[in-house]
A and B are shown apart, each in its own frame.
Chain A
């Protein structure tokens, strides 16, 4: 562990808060863990999608005759073969004029395709070779239809419609105070437009799964997913009862939101349903980069007004995001962008207008940070510019404006937990020490900080809930069952740690069974940084209930007051009592006291918002943090080397500090990738980067050690006071890098990724030095 931990309220914890080596890692390190693509059945078939070659067209002919004749091909399915081919997505909170649309998507396109890579046909065959041959023989005629490639243009009159009813999918507004008056009274105003790009999840495991029918006719899908509850969506598509579909999530090779929507599920289900045989589907990396939903690219226009002492007076913000060809979660992502748009600061006068527009670009949906992270580039760049214009320290200006408990966000939500933003600023600056010197005459060094807030837990009107079941075995070992999908963040092992803490059972004697929609209590999605809050609390509930049941039974048996009893490793212990656990469990059986318990946790409630966003509570709570980066810019090549990176977050309580540091480092490096390297390049709807040699993610030599500083206010809403940490650290990198470059060269990049060309553009604007190639 490299990180420091600063804990405000220390508790006597035995297991929670320990940097335990995780059990799930042993199999992964030994090479024995079987992921979704590692299962095979005798007689298994293979399935593959045939996808649209063009971004926008009517399909005038689809002929599968030749493909079906290829030896080894069992079926070639089209949209007409899907029992319910339409998937409808609710778009919440929108005015009728926008269309409280039920946005519609098809499992397989029939008469229209709207993005490059949209699925049209499903080939099912005995061998991968037959699939390869047959896929090429599916004949499709396209009648191309004008491409809508820019979300701003899509919102103008006269733009072609991607779907009927216009290209505006959703909009949100926040109006608070008197923005115009605030600008009139301001000492300084800063206006700028910031742009982010399409980003791909690029998990190492491309989408995959196996499906089969069990002996009772239940369709089982064992798939790489973050959401086992999709069994309901699959059932709907097939027209079968929900109880006849079961989804199992093995350990997932990375999700980050990219496996939150259905990926292979509908197609596997269709293939199994049609052929009645086991089927495997493995997407290629090319398919994944081409057609899997991306992170929304945002255009964010900010006008910020401040007083001479750095107090923020007003924010006037306009956001347009690219919803791509289909709605997916775009309306909700935009909601997050809107609520997070002012960042962790108190702003009395706010006007925000946000819109998301359909285009013929790749669909966009959930990705770690979910719309809240893109805004960090906007609000952090703006506060830096305010500080610069006023010649004030960037950290002091942030502290001056930082939210405190009792403040309300522009949307109306009150901050109910402690905000340690100032402490995170101090922590990274203290750790950083003096800035380094440049390594040569044609290099410049820059340093910057960036702070953020990011919600954890789902939107409160979604009635979020999670359940977990814990049961003792007769020998005192423990079984935990919880539907939580484990996508690498230690979701399952955290539950074991919590159970171990409460029930005093050694971690080695606890097994966590997770991710089965039929056999484990449902815990909801592994998304929205919600699982520690939800399944963690559910597990804590179950553990406490079970502990209390057992202690009560022993109290009755021995006549000891229950207050004096506690669980220790292997025994129930009291002032004059020591009952071995195995014996205690027998006592429970004799007394008809269950030695298992179900725990449930329900998220906070709130009313659904309307387009004019306003509410006491939108999210359960937020996580705050600050990052610091030192960069060195090569004035000749525009290359940026990150010399140092420090991230500080108040995580409430670190259930497993190593896991927390790991989440921070992983999220930071993804953010750095978005800052400097990654872009899904789409030109007129055509995806130009469907290979890893084109879509560049950070390697070990592109980033330095990520130094984590963990603050623990103890004030999170999760078990033991934990806050969520999965998403929050991904936001600051996309602001701190442009800021550090600005510090180095005198001008700020405002568009991501900050490529070498954009760096050299900033160098030229900053007039730091003429590049070597310029003629004097």
Chain B
């Protein structure tokens, strides 16, 4: 309704899409699932000259297990990733986090690549990718390059993506033995954008934390790894990992109509402890 008409283009390959981006820089947007893009168009927040539909790129959503990695095509939908047994076995943070994304309708159309490129600092997938140590393969049609998730998500809705680049696939390291995962989120209602979310991976041996990875979303302009906490909990007894979580540093949450900054700061600690505790418990069960 009341959308200013834009040109609709369909790309058969990522290369074609990249070429179109090069032709008309700044006025074209890539359309994948559209679950973030089209609401903004409908609300008049975005006024593109053209949308380039990449959902017809064949094989764009393939999911495979390669040597120690999960390879997930950018066009894989949330639903496909959530349901895939390779993903559940390889990096269980992914289906856990996807369960918190929107509604079944959003998950049936929204894509991995779309979510990552959108780079919403409260989003679940970028957070999981950062904690899991994922890398994104970007293409401009002619060449590819790989960017670490930690470097890709720069700021609010801003990614290290060139003007003519698209995410082609994501490589997520497979979780090794001895590791457990934990995911915690607080939102106003089920399926809403997270106020704060936390993702943790903890490796336990003989009841002790050997190594931990902890990330938070919703506490700043990008998902953050809490290196200080990761160090603090190393060596802790797995059963009381939460007690070792001290002050959280490097948080810059923003307040909005759904939560104040102070509340997000408070929640950050809560989800950090919950995610770490669950991860340690799962690791303990595995070993």
Contact = CB atoms under 8 A, between A and B. Distances in A.
A636 B258 contact: no
Contact of A128 (B2, B188, B257, B269): B2
B2 A284 contact: yes
Contacts of A132: 2-5
A286 B269 CA distance: 35
Given A133-B4, A637-B270, A757 B190 contact: no
A530 interface: no
B142 interface: no
Nearest to B265: A773
Interface in A130-163: 131-133, 135-136
Interface residues of chain B: helix, strand, loop or mixed (majority): loop
Interface in A680-698: 681, 688-689, 691, 693-694, 696, 698
A773 B2 contact: no
Contacts of A756: 188, 259, 263
Nearest to B257: A681
Nearest to A773: B269
Interface string B181-195: 000001011111100
A691 B186 CA distance: 21
A699 B190 contact: yes
A693 B106 CA distance: 14
B1 A677 contact: no
Contacts of A775: 247
Interface string A410-448: 000000000000000000000000000000000000000
A688 B256 CA distance: 9
Contact of A286 (B43, B193, B259): B43
Given A681-B257, A757-B259, A701 B3 contact: no
A638 B262 CA distance: 13
Interface residues of B, number: 27
A291 to B, nearest CB: 15
Contacts of A677: 188-189
B93 to A, nearest CB: 21
A699 B189 contact: yes
A254 to B, nearest CB: 19
Contacts of A638: 263
B260 interface: yes
A589 B273 CA distance: 84
Contacts of B247: 775
A282 B1 contact: yes
A689 B190 contact: no
Interface in B5-48: 5, 39, 43-44
Contacts of B273: 772
A760 B260 CA distance: 13
Interface string B154-194: 00000000000000000000000000000000101111110
A699 B187 CA distance: 13
B217 interface: no
A48 interface: yes
Nearest to B45: A691
Contacts of B2: 48, 128, 131-132, 135, 284
A772 B270 contact: yes
B28 to A, nearest CB: 19
Contacts of B44: 286
A286 B45 CA distance: 12
Contacts of B270: 636-637, 772-773
Contact of B257 (A135, A689, A701, A772): A689
A773 B266 contact: yes
Nearest to A702: B189
Contacts of A681: 257
A348 interface: no
B192 A701 contact: no
A691 B40 CA distance: 11
Nearest to A700: B190
A760 B266 contact: yes
Interface in B48-71: none
A771 interface: yes
A535 B259 CA distance: 46
Given A132-B4, A135-B2, A760-B266, A702 B257 contact: no
Nearest to B248: A773
Contacts of A129: 3-5
Contacts of B259: 755-757
A639 interface: yes
A132 B3 CA distance: 6
B267 interface: yes
A772 B1 CA distance: 47
Contacts of B257: 679, 681, 688-689, 694
Contact of B258 (A131, A694, A699): A694
A90 B149 CA distance: 63
A347 B44 CA distance: 54
> Which one of B43, B257, B259 has the greatest number of beta carbons of chain A within 10 Å?
B257
A698 B269 CA distance: 27
A639 B190 contact: no
Contacts of A757: 259-260, 262-263
B193 A693 contact: yes
A309 B224 CA distance: 59
A357 to B, nearest CB: 24
B266 A696 contact: no
A689 B190 CA distance: 19
B4 A284 contact: no
Interface centre among A282, A284, A636, A699 (most CB of B within 10 A): A636
A224 to B, nearest CB: 16
A681 B266 CA distance: 23
Contacts of A691: 43
Contacts of B189: 677, 696, 698-699, 701-702
A757 B257 CA distance: 12
A700 B2 CA distance: 30
| Residue of A133, A688, A691, A773 contacting most chain B CB atoms (<10 Å) | A773
A674 B190 CA distance: 17
B210 to A, nearest CB: 25
A560 B266 CA distance: 84
A136 B193 CA distance: 30
Given A756-B263, A757-B260, A771-B266, A696 B5 contact: no
Contacts of B266: 760, 771, 773
Contacts of A688: 257
A636 B39 CA distance: 33
B258 to A, nearest CB: 7
B271 to A, nearest CB: 9
Nearest to A136: B4
Contacts of B193: 693
B214 to A, nearest CB: 16
A136 B2 CA distance: 11
Nearest to B269: A773
B1 A128 contact: yes
Contacts of B186: 637, 639
A693 B36 CA distance: 12
Contacts of A771: 266
Interface in B118-136: none
B36 to A, nearest CB: 11
28 contacts: A48-B2, A129-B5, A132-B3, A132-B5, A284-B2, A286-B44, A636-B270, A637-B186, A637-B267, A638-B263, A677-B189, A689-B257, A693-B39, A693-B193, A696-B189, A696-B192, A696-B258, A698-B189, A699-B190, A699-B191, A702-B190, A756-B259, A756-B263, A757-B259, A757-B263, A760-B263, A773-B270, A775-B247
Given A129-B4, A693-B193, A772-B270, 14 more contacts: A132-B4, A132-B5, A136-B4, A284-B2, A639-B186, A677-B188, A679-B257, A691-B43, A755-B259, A757-B260, A757-B263, A772-B273, A773-B269, A775-B247
Interface of B: 1-5, 39, 43-44, 186, 188-193, 247, 257-260, 262-263, 266-267, 269-270, 273
Q: Nearest 9 A-B pairs (CB), nearest first?
A: A132-B2, A773-B269, A701-B190, A636-B270, A132-B4, A681-B257, A773-B266, A757-B263, A129-B5
